[in-house]
């Protein structure tokens, strides 16, 4: 699946737009993860437990979006974006979205 944050793919021509596709993941922190991350904040720097959690959530949302695009017959996604919203304390929604398209080589 080709993808880009822009609305064009170099070397390809969009032949069909299939509409908006999205992948949504809602994650919560575990109590163990929260304690571990709290300890990491005492020493400063990268809070690797949260970095890992965020990376997994983004990857899962991306994979769900790609699955939706594939189901529509797309071979690319343009205008790719991420968004995150805290639903409640310790619970975050990660949204990945874009426009599913069919592209051909120029």
Helix, strand or coil for residue 65?
A: helix
> In the predicted model, is pLDDT for residue 53 greater than 90?
no
Q: Which of 65 and 28 is assigned the larger pLDDT?
A: 65
Residues 12-27: tens digit of each pLDDT: 999 999 999 999 999 8
> In the predicted model, is pLDDT for residue 42 greater than 80?
no
Structural domains of the chain, count: 1
**Contact indicator for 38, 50 with CB cutoff of 8 Å:** no
Q: What is the DSSP string of 21-37?
A: EEEEEEEE--HHHHHHH
Report CA 41 to chain centroid distance, whole Å. Answer: 26
Helix, strand or coil for residue 103?
A: strand
Residues 54-97: tens digit of each pLDDT: 899 999 999 999 999 999 999 999 999 999 998 887 788 999 99
State the residue range of the domain holding 9: 2-105
Output the pLDDT for position 105: 95
Q: At 88, which CATH number?
A: 3.30.110.70
């Amino acid at each position: 699946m080709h993808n880009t944050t822009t609305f064009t793919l170099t070397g390809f021509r969009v032949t069909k737009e299939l509409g908006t596709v999205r992948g949504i993941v809602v994650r919560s922190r575990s109590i163990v993860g929260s304690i571990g991350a709290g300890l990491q904040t005492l020493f400063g720097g990268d809070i690797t437990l949260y970095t890992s959690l965020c990376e997994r959530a983004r990857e899962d949302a991306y994979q769900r979006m790609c699955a939706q695009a594939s189901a529509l017959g797309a071979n690319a996604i343009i205008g790719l974006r991420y968004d995150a919203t805290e639903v409640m304390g310790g619970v975050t929604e990660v949204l990945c979205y874009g426009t599913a398209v069919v592209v051909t080589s120029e």
